[in-house]
Structure 1
Amino acid sequence: MAVTDLPTASAAPPSALPWVAPFAAFLLWLLVWPYVPLDELRVELLRLGLLAMVLLTVSRGIVASLRVTRWLSSLTVGLLVAGLWLLPGLLWPGYREQRLFQNGITGDTVSALPDSWLASPLLLSLRIARATLLVPLVEEIFWRGFLPRWVLRNNWDAVPMGSYNLLAFAATAVLFAAQHGPYWDVALMCGLIFNWYMWTTRSLGDLVLAHVATNAALAAYAVATKQYVFWL
């Protein structure tokens, strides 16, 4: 995981806005959407539109540059991560109810989706689309495309994609886990796997595809079992 042959730093650091803006918009919406005075359909359409707009304007160069070269291995890694995410709860009923996972810091495993959403095929379809198409782009651009390189060097844009040292590898995984609240344990494990895959492939496009496969599998499981707590 050592970083070698990195270019020398330039005078001014590059702009992080295209790499950070989608994730910042995603987090901001999580904070404000319960207070938006619109019905559920308009709220979801507004959220989808906001994320898509940021991705296709501020971050359009990053999105346009994504290439997938390892279709089979990326899909396999994504499905493996989804399986690991589900495994503890399948093996040990009540596992997620421990205070180690549900407490004042991590929150509770309670779905944020109103019952009216679950009864609407259209709203459910929009929620699945967001989870499988937009969230992987938003998260991977930040977590694997930007943050490890920013940790490594002020002139992070000169750092090759997929470069890590121990601090960057661990910090990215830990912060990724913290974002997922009561699922922090499996998120940490999955973050480590995604970091390893990024280090191995040096391809942000393949990481996005792996994340798409993970979220699609989890969405399918949530809908099939009606366990919507995976959509916190």
Structure 2
Amino acid sequence: MSPSPNTPPSRLRNPLMLDYIVPTGLFILFTVFEGLVPKTNYPLVYSVKVITVTVALCIFRAPLKDYQWQPTAVLPALGVGFAVYLFWIPLDKLTPFHFPFGQRSAFDPYLFLPKPLERNLFLLLRFYGLVIMVPIMEEIFWRSFLLRLFTTSNEDFLQLPLEGFSNTALFLGSACFALAHPEWLSAFLCGLLYALLLRYTRTLTAPLIAHMLTNLLLGLSILYTHNWSYW
């Protein structure tokens, strides 16, 4: 049956909320499951997670249109991304307490994957997830979706410009982003900076670039120092 011409446009768009939610929801479910399996099974579970979330991003791809290229946003994005990298681990070391949930796997590929080929293939997949998949997924959910939803509190969030979120949404969204990370204090400040970068540049591509750079530098640092607790 065709929708009535009098049906509010927001009601027609409401199913698109799933496009913003499903990939991140799957990611969270797999992340919880990772903590329940033996370390020896972690590479397999992580591989399935990356493939599943990537497929979900392709199927529920409508929000990808939120990424609009803006050349003038590149330099601010690189600056914010580098700044977050600089404070992420040092600030976390000064954090007085940590929440018991959301702990990282701390998987040591050199210990559990002694064969170089297997280890290198896993590291390639791990960096794809860390640097490409996770930023694309999280910026869609945390910045494009949640900030606008907290601002409008209903299905009309799609009518709001990406940068049009309220200051209340800014802090609520950053708080939720913090609760999703073990390094909650660093994540809270990171969430604020990424959101303010979005407001300043008016393009979701800016926090995406920043997020990718932050994760790349953190991943390389962890690989170099073998500080797997942040992995």
Task: Find out whether 1:111 has 2:112 as its counterpart.
Answer: no
Paired residue for 1:223? 223
Paired residue for 2:131? 132
Distance, in Å, in 1 between the alignment partners of 2:9 and 2:192 is 30
Among 80, 88, 100, the residue aligned to 1:77? 80
Distance, in Å, in 2 between the alignment partners of 1:148 and 1:107 is 21
Change (3 A) 1:68 1:101: farther
Which deviations, in whole Å up to 9, do the C-alpha atoms of 1:13-49 show, x marking residues without a partner? 6220111111111101112245679955433331221
The TM-score normalised by the length of structure 2 is: 0.81
Which deviations, in whole Å up to 9, do the C-alpha atoms of 1:57-87 show, x marking residues without a partner? 11x2322552331222212211111111133
- On the 8 A contact 1:161/1:202 being kept in 2, the answer is yes
Q: What do you get for the CA RMSD once the two structures are aligned?
A: 2.6
State how 1:167-186 maps to structure 2 within 5 Å: 167-181=168-182, 183-186=183-186
Paired residue for 1:54? 56
Unaligned runs of 5+ in 1: 1-8
**What percentage of residue pairs aligned between the two structures are identical?**
25
State the aligned residue count: 213
The TM-score normalised by the length of structure 1 is: 0.81
Task: Find out whether 1:88 has 2:83 as its counterpart.
Answer: no
SS at match of 1:20: helix
Task: Find out whether 1:144 has 2:147 as its counterpart.
Answer: no
SS at match of 1:212: helix
Distance, in Å, in 2 between the alignment partners of 1:158 and 1:118 is 52
Distance, in Å, in 2 between the alignment partners of 1:189 and 1:229 is 20
- On the 8 A contact 1:102/1:108 being kept in 2, the answer is no
- On the 8 A contact 1:144/1:162 being kept in 2, the answer is no
Of residues 109-118 and 78-87 in structure 1, the stretch that sits farther from structure 2 once superposed is 109-118
Paired residue for 1:4? none
Higher helix share: 2
Q: Which runs of 4+ in 1 moved over 4 A?
A: 34-41, 106-110
Unaligned runs of 5+ in 2: 1-7
Change (3 A) 1:117 1:168: farther
